[in-house]
Structure 1
Amino acid sequence: MKLKAFCLILLFNIFITTAHAQVAFSCNDGPFIVGATSSQPTPNLYQINTSTIPFTFTVVSTTGSNISYNAIGYRISDNLIYGIEEAGVGSSSANLVQIDATGTTTDLGLINGLPIDRYISGDFDTSGNYYVSNSESNTIFIIDVDSRAVTNQFSYTANYRFSDLSYNPVDGMLYAISTINTLAPDEAGQLLRIDPSNGSLTEVGNSSGGNSGIGSISFDANGTLYAVDNLSVGVYSINISNGNTTLISTSPAFSRADSAHCANAIFSGPTPVLPPVAVPTLTIFGIIFAALLLLYNLNKTVFRKTV
């Protein structure tokens, strides 16, 4: 009887494990965006193909799960995406959601130590730490997804608000772009660098064109930063030295969006073209001076050969 009960328990555990088996993403397949268009309030997961211009956005197949989520990040150790549940647009939660390569979502339950709120920004570092922030405060929480617990948190002294965080594997910093709900005197469109070790915030520079509708950003292994602007309907390359933006491609008109990308993968496709360097125009006096300088150097060369 004990053997029969043991076998039944074993079969039950195998069934549960199989039922919850997750299909891993490929590290080279991203980036991915969870986005909602104006006609579709429940977000879909889109895979972005960056190998051609314009980029193509393909909806990842789904098995019918209706869990809504935001603040997604890609964890390298298991090649799965994680996010924070949204019971509806703008709703609050503290539940961890796992998303696999088929689009299947699993509610993993409450995150211990995480206040119930609306979390819209998130990303993983290469060590597996999950960083999330809500839409209205200046606090970033660090989460261990295996234990579903907050392991640390820090605050920055600024009024900036942003819709996504992204971890740069090259310098180990978090980056964000401030959005239109940023509080005065701080401004929208500012590229921000945040040190995850202490929360110190650096204003890198205001993005050219004042891109204030950035909904999602992603770094690749080379430290290349892409951003999708929901308002201007475009994908931009961001210069992390000064915040300047270069339009790369069009994008769908998302009403809200968030992105995740494997930090060990490199964005494929064309490299952003830098503007040409301007050649100074010489005046008539400049031309005369250049001619005299050339003649002087030529005479010196002839004189040396003669001697």
Structure 2
Amino acid sequence: MRLSIPILLTVLFGSSVHAETPASVEPFDTCPSKAFLFQSSPSKVYGVNLVTGGYSTLAETTGLNTHINAVGFNQSDRYIYGFDYDNEVVIRIGQNYVGEQLTVNGLPNNTKFISGDVHDQIYYLHRRELGIIKIDLSPLESDPSATLTATTLDTDLNNLRTSDVAINPIDGNLYAVNNNSYNLYRVDLETGDSDMVYSLVADIGPPSGGFGAVYFDVDGNFYISRNDDGKIFRIDLSNEDDIDDKNLEAVLFASGPISGQNDGARCANAPIIDEDSTIDFGDAPDSYKTLLASNGPRHEVDSGFYLGSIAPDSEGDGFTSPLDDNKAGLADEDGVGFVTALEVGNTSLVSVQASTAGYLSAWIDWNQDGDFQDTGEKVFSDSLLTSGINSLSIAVPAGATIGSTWSRFRFSEASGLDYFGGATTGEVEDHPVTIMENGSSLRYYPSESGYATIAFEDNWPKEGDYDLNDVVFKFRITETLDENSAITRVLIQGYLSAYGAGYHNGFAFRLGGINRSDISSASTLTHNSVLQESNGLESDSNEAIFIVSDDLKQKLPAGCMYYRTAQHCQEALVFEFEIDVYFNEGTDTSSLMTMPYDPFIFATPGAYVRDGLWYNPGRGLEIHLADQAPTEQFDTYWLGWWSDSSDPATSRYFKTSSNHPWALLIPDEWSWPREHVDLVEAYPEFAGYAESGGENNLQWYLLEKATENKYYLSEE
């Protein structure tokens, strides 16, 4: 929990309607996204992060030495308005949490209001016996000392026992929960008509305490904070049809502060993410409840509770394909390692590193149905970890589905966490995992969790600007082997890192040594976690060639011309793929070429191919790694033209006379040259590496050997 330094004031106001206004009573600079919570008597002011339930003290006092209730935020003048419960006057509070009293005519005598909110320059006060009182705040715009007038809105809310109310920025209606019944009511602020729109009992149980602080966000989500246990529930009230049809649900969203004297205010037109917050989210597909809109798991960072050796960085929301936490920021998903494979019917060993003592809960989607809801999918429940490495075991069910699935690990000082919802401390790590048959083993390229980089210069057979950033992919491969060490499955995963090409290019993998007829129809291709109709296997080739995409330009966002190659072009990753290859029964895979197989690009059929070519070879123009023979689709006419010095008789392909290749494979993550920067200018040691045929300068690609300001540096 982060603590801010409250502004402590000792100025006390007497019983007169107008005390001298302190000079520091100034409006807020913006529409804050934090939720304000007033507690105790005299009231203290807290800032609540509704996303996680974390809170911090904003002010120990408002200078009024009184109990403040019925607070609401006025977006028009950016003040908090409230009711001085002890002196029975209306007040307003500025950005330094200093209060001033206002003059209001027409307020009922000897009446204490405990619930209220502000909307469209009207301050609404509610009390069960009276209904709703309206106060027009607009005269304060021209005269900060103006006398305001209270009027009564006729309504049938006389029996509503509520501790706070809030106004929905979507439909302009007031909403409140009856503490005695847990029924949710809606009030039309034009007519005063009210109706019961939903019973919360089925979702959160029978009444067990009032909701002293309620809030809205800009998307029409209604947050209700229960005094007795601090639990914060969320109800989506953005759709009028759903409200009318009572198609609603109250979900546990986070756990906040406990108090018997709560009242809340919030700028309802602000997004829910606190502008000062730092939050760690998950990155599994959203069917597992990952995004904030799905009430995905989230933890406040900088708490000292985390997994692995690297503390988590913060995100604005959960990441889903093609992004994940490691791609977008620090590679902090380092806390969980599977020591042994997840084999059906066996026990797997898992190594979990904790920063300090705390509780771990974890889930695995055994049946691959896209959720963690099924019986037995919670594999750890509040397991107490010690600081450092913890060895744990997971029993893999006999009925677990073979193949790729997802896991979720949550670590915190708090127990009782589900696979969704907010927490004030800790970290969530989502990891893809593979369920294997008993006796199987795995083999990786370049490693289990790392990526190799392949980069292409697409001007072949001309050398061009030789910036090697026309097409850049990062990828990794996992082979599954049976008890006889025969390959039974190939999983290729990757994402487009950069595209500086002006031409249209496709990207593919050839599994050399295997025929198309050896590939099972169970093989699949996914783009951004979406299963494609075709598995990508090229239909008019005898070889096993998987087309990832035949036109990568169509995958690019509409922003920068040079996607992630010009330094100013800090576009998000937009394209991820996965090829899951199974072989027909009886296939001899011993002839399969070694990883990383044969990744290559080709000219998109029908698009403009290359400057200087006097006919269009289309799919026949391929660019492979140095000395890799092209596929059967290749047009051999162009071998040896211009800068190319290929010689099939000596198995020399796709190299210049100086041994410069048109494609590079780096078995690690790599920062490619910026647009129009020659590779040798960005990485001077590459020249010696190429000219020696790869004998010298083997680590030419390391960042410390690069020329400053010549390579692309992601600022994510």
TM-score normalized by structure 1?
0.71
> Radius of gyration: which is bigger?
2
Q: Flag structure 1 segments of 5+ consecutive residues without an equivalent.
A: 1-15, 181-187, 280-307
Partner residue of 1:206 out of 196, 199, 203: 199
Contact 2:93 2:99 (C-alpha < 8 Å) held by counterparts: yes
Say which structure is richer in helix. 1
Could you report, residue by residue, the CA deviation over 1:24-46 in whole angstroms, capped at 9, with x for unpaired residues?
2531332111122xxxx422111
Q: Residue in 2 aligned with 1:140?
A: 132
Partner residue of 2:101 out of 93, 97, 107: 107
Shift of 1:20: 5.6
Shift of 1:210: 3.3
Task: Return 63-72 or 255-264, whichever deviates more.
Answer: 63-72
Could you report, residue by residue, the CA deviation over 1:61-81 in whole angstroms, capped at 9, with x for unpaired residues?
346441321100101111110
Q: Residue in 2 aligned with 1:291?
A: none
Partner residue of 1:26 out of 14, 27, 30: 30
Code of the residue aligned with 1:210 in structure 2: it is P
Shift of 1:156: 1.2
The 1:202/1:60 distance shift into structure 2, 3 A limit, reads same
Shift of 1:272: 4.2
Q: Does 1:232 align with 2:229?
A: yes
Task: Measure the CA separation in 2 of the matches of 1:68 and 1:276.
Answer: 46
Q: Does 1:169 align with 2:165?
A: no
Task: Measure the CA separation in 1 of the matches of 2:293 and 2:82.
Answer: 30
Q: Residue in 2 aligned with 1:50?
A: 50
Code of the residue aligned with 1:144 in structure 2: it is D
Q: Does 1:179 align with 2:179?
A: yes
TM-score normalized by structure 2?
0.32
Code of the residue aligned with 1:30 in structure 2: it is K
Structure 1 segment 47-196 matched on structure 2, within 5 A: 47-51=47-51, 53=52, 55-61=53-59, 62=61, 64-87=63-86, 93=88, 95-109=89-103, 111-116=104-109, 117-125=111-119, 127-134=120-127, 136-145=128-137, 146=140, 147-156=147-156, 159-180=159-180, 188-196=181-189
Q: Residue in 2 aligned with 1:262?
A: 267
Contact 1:215 1:228 (C-alpha < 8 Å) held by counterparts: yes
Contact 2:184 2:197 (C-alpha < 8 Å) held by counterparts: yes
Task: Measure the CA separation in 1 of the matches of 2:22 and 2:125.
Answer: 30
Could you report, residue by residue, the CA deviation over 1:221-241 in whole angstroms, capped at 9, with x for unpaired residues?
110111100123211112443
Q: Residue in 1 aligned with 2:423?
A: none
Task: Return 169-178 or 140-149, whichever deviates more.
Answer: 140-149
Tell me the matched-pair count.
Answer: 243
Contact 1:67 1:105 (C-alpha < 8 Å) held by counterparts: no
Q: Residue in 2 aligned with 1:222?
A: 219
Contact 1:137 1:161 (C-alpha < 8 Å) held by counterparts: no
The 1:82/1:158 distance shift into structure 2, 3 A limit, reads closer
The 1:273/1:29 distance shift into structure 2, 3 A limit, reads closer
Shift of 1:123: 0.6
User: Secondary structure of the residue that 1:271 maps to in structure 2?
Assistant: helix
Q: Residue in 1 aligned with 2:258?
A: 253
Which is bigger in relative contact order (C-alpha 8 A, separation at least 6)?
1
Task: Measure the CA separation in 2 of the matches of 1:25 and 1:48.
Answer: 18
Percent identity of the aligned residues? Answer: 28
Q: Flag structure 2 segments of 5+ consecutive residues without an equivalent.
A: 1-19, 141-146, 238-242, 274-278, 280-291, 297-369, 375-716
Code of the residue aligned with 2:125 in structure 1: it is V
Task: Measure the CA separation in 2 of the matches of 1:149 and 1:158.
Answer: 22
The 1:206/1:103 distance shift into structure 2, 3 A limit, reads same
Contact 1:138 1:161 (C-alpha < 8 Å) held by counterparts: no
The 1:226/1:272 distance shift into structure 2, 3 A limit, reads farther
